[in-house]
Amino acid sequence: MSLAVVSAFAQAPAQPTPPPPSSAAQLPPAQPPASTGKKPTPAKPEKKIDLNSASKKDLMTLPSVGEAEANKIIANRPYTSKVDLVTKAGLPEGVYLAVRSKVVAADPKKPVAKK
């Protein structure tokens, strides 16, 4: 009996299996968002915090800056560059990388223009 089963498999023609359908073919086509008639509002430029004049509370709003880091920043003023956070204040490089796009070091000798 096992001989009959083997011969049945041997006689069946080999059929190629079709490739699986791609996931892109199953997704509906992308449609542009519906227009509301309004122009998109441009993003407001983020106000940067000045290392030389910011309050402790303002400094603590920065990512990775807690009370201890804010105290170090204040204690080591004035700064001529943002990099001074690492070289002068002794903050870890990770903290600097987290805040570098959110801070400025305004020249402490020049008065800040009021708007």
> Where do the domains of the chain lie?
49-104
> What average pLDDT does range 99-115 have in this prediction?
78
- Does residue 103 sit in helix, strand or coil? strand
Secondary element (H or E) of residue 49? strand 49-50
What is the C-alpha separation between 104 and 62, in angstroms, rounded?
12
Task: Report the alpha-carbon angle 90-91-93, nearest 5.
Answer: 115
CB 33 within 8 A of CB 87: no
What is the C-alpha separation between 59 and 61, in angstroms, rounded?
5
Span 38-95, pLDDT tens digits: 666 666 667 899 999 999 999 999 999 999 999 999 999 999 999 999 999 999 999 9
- Model pLDDT, residue 112: 55
Task: Name the DSSP letter for residue 50.
Answer: E
- Model pLDDT, residue 63: 94
- Model pLDDT, residue 89: 92
pLDDT, greater one: 37 or 79: 79
pLDDT at 6 over 70: no
Span 8-21, pLDDT tens digits: 555 655 666 666 66
- Model pLDDT, residue 11: 60
Task: Report the alpha-carbon angle 69-99-104, nearest 5.
Answer: 100
What is the C-alpha separation between 54 and 66, in angstroms, rounded?
14
User: Is the CATH number of domain 49-104 1.10.150.320?
Assistant: yes
